[in-house]
């Protein structure tokens, strides 16, 4: 069940105040009867809502799935040689597309969606969505490495990284937070500081965390979780 003013604003007016105005003017019919209050709850699957004679239908719910990706599979829709991440999705969700990519040898949080705008916003560096990685590597990071990450590293091929966070966890273990997703970025960032990566796992993206989702398993995000990815 959903509030009538929210339903009108989601499907038609794009604004709650405009929806209230239409309601007040008696231009909205629910199951054939004029309805002037936005507080009324409707069932968008069962109730018929007309505004100025136009039938309003609920947008199909967008789906976002979170996979705990194991190592050894590629982020691709199909691949002749390797197992793909798609094989871990329940059959009814295999029409979704991965949001960005994780390397074959990287584990961790990988999202899938049918909402192209949402995928674009998550990937685009413009929106500065943080991706948190746990890395094991040769050598141990130093304060100089932390400062170099903060400054913005230049990789072997000359590409310039946006400022990133490096947290030293201990001998050969670090946390890295980036807001962009260049090819093999975290591996190349650590390699550029003489710390080749031996194990990499994405722990978080924006407000989302892997939590205790077992390796190879998926779960569907709630609308609240999706909304929390882009706090206003």
Interface stretch with ligand URA, choices 21-29, 78-86, 100-108, 119-127 (CB under 6 A): 100-108
Residue with tokens 């929390």: 228
Q: Which helix (H) or strand (E) holds 203?
A: strand 197-205
187 lies in the binding site for ligand URA (CB under 6 A): yes
Residues 133-172, one symbol each (x = binds ligand URA by CB under 6 A, - = not), give ----------------------------------------
Nearer to ligand URA by Cβ, of 185 and 218: the residue is 185
* Choice from 42, 99, 119, 200 touching ligand URA (CB under 6 A): 200
* Choice from 102, 161, 166, 221 touching ligand URA (CB under 6 A): 102
Task: Kindly state the DSSP code that residue 11 receives in the 8-state scheme.
Answer: I
φ, ψ at 108 (rounded to 5°) = 120, -160
The number of helix segments (H) and strand segments (E) in the chain equals 6, 17
174 lies in the binding site for ligand URA (CB under 6 A): no
Q: Supply 172's token pair.
A: 């050969």
Task: Kindly state the DSSP code that residue 2 receives in the 8-state scheme.
Answer: E
| Calculated CA dihedral for residues 177, 65, 113, 132, nearest 10 degrees | 0
Smallest distance from the beta carbon of 103 to ligand URA, in angstroms? 4
Binding site for ligand URA (CB under 6 A): 102-103, 106, 184-187, 200
């Amino acid at each position: 069940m959903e509030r009538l003013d929210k339903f009108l604003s989601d499907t038609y007016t794009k604004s709650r105040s405009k929806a209230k105005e239409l309601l007040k003017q008696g231009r909205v019919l629910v199951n054939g009867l004029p309805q002037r209050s936005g507080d009324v709850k409707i069932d968008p699957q069962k109730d018929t809502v007309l505004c100025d004679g136009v039938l309003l239908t609920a947008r199909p719910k967008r789906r976002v799935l979170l996979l705990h990706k194991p190592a050894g599979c590629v982020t691709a829709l199909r691949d002749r040689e390797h197992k793909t991440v798609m094989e871990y999705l329940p059959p009814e969700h295999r029409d979704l597309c991965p949001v960005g990519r994780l390397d074959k040898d990287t584990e961790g949080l990988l999202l899938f969606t049918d909402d192209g705008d949402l995928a674009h916003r998550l990937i685009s560096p413009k929106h500065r969505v943080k991706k948190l990685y746990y890395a094991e590597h040769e050598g141990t990071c130093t304060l100089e490495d932390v400062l170099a990450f903060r400054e913005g590293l230049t990789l072997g091929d000359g590409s310039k990284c946006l400022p990133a966070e490096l947290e030293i966890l201990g001998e050969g273990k670090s946390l890295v937070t980036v807001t962009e997703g260049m090819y093999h970025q975290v591996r190349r960032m650590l390699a550029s500081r003489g710390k080749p990566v031996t194990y990499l796992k994405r722990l978080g993206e924006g407000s989302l965390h892997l939590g205790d989702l077992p390796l190879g398993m998926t779960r569907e995000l709630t609308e609240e979780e999706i909304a929390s990815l882009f706090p206003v």
